[in-house]
Amino acid sequence: MTTTPAIRVVLDTNTWLDLLWFHDSRCAALAAALADRRLVAVSSAACRFEWRRVLSYPELAIDAARRAELCARFDDMTEVVDTTGTTPTLPRCRDPDDQKFLELAHAANAAALFTRDAELLALANRCRRAGLFQILQPLEVVGVVSL
């Protein structure tokens, strides 16, 4: 029996929040594809650090026990990729804080980066033309995996 390897994808921090904290229905198909391992989410030390930092934002009002649970779920759902030493030629994001997601997608040889961030979505055509990964909204998961 031949099994198809899971497709690697990157989720930006807001997509993780939508998925794990807000349970946004726009992430339902993405959540299902991750749960049944048709997709595997990748992360890096920098992306994980940002995730942990954002969970502490007072606006989210996430208590310490729930933060620990969300961090554990994130860790359980991600495969860590080392992005140190990679110097890829990638499009530059206008928001320098988001560049790490592009670098991760490249280093992990990911098929897609899922985001609703306008600055990242603005780079979708450039990445496609360069033969890199796709930049998609979570609703567009069918562009990566058949459901």
Q: What is the pLDDT of residues 103-147, one digit of tens each?
A: 999 999 999 999 999 999 999 999 999 999 999 999 999 878 865
Average pLDDT of the residues in 65-86: 93
Residue 77 reports pLDDT greater than 90:
yes
Q: What is the DSSP letter of 146?
A: -
Give residues with Cβ within 8 angstroms of 2, minimum separation 6.
none
- Among 52-56, 70-74, 77-81, 90-94, the range scoring the smallest mean pLDDT is 90-94
pTM of the model: 0.93
- Among 8-12, 71-75, 83-87, 100-104, the range scoring the smallest mean pLDDT is 83-87
Using 50, 70 and 90 to split pLDDT, how confident is the model at 99? very high
Mean pLDDT of the chain: 93
Nearest to 115 by CA among 95, 87, 129: 95
Q: What is the DSSP letter of 11?
A: E
Using 50, 70 and 90 to split pLDDT, how confident is the model at 5? confident
Using 50, 70 and 90 to split pLDDT, how confident is the model at 4? low
Nearest to 46 by CA among 92, 7, 8, 96: 96
CATH number belonging to the domain at 7-143, selected among 3.40.50.1010, 3.40.50.740, 1.10.3720.10, 3.40.50.700: 3.40.50.1010
Q: What's the pLDDT score for residue 87?
A: 64
Residue 42 reports pLDDT greater than 80:
yes
CA 73 to chain centre: 14
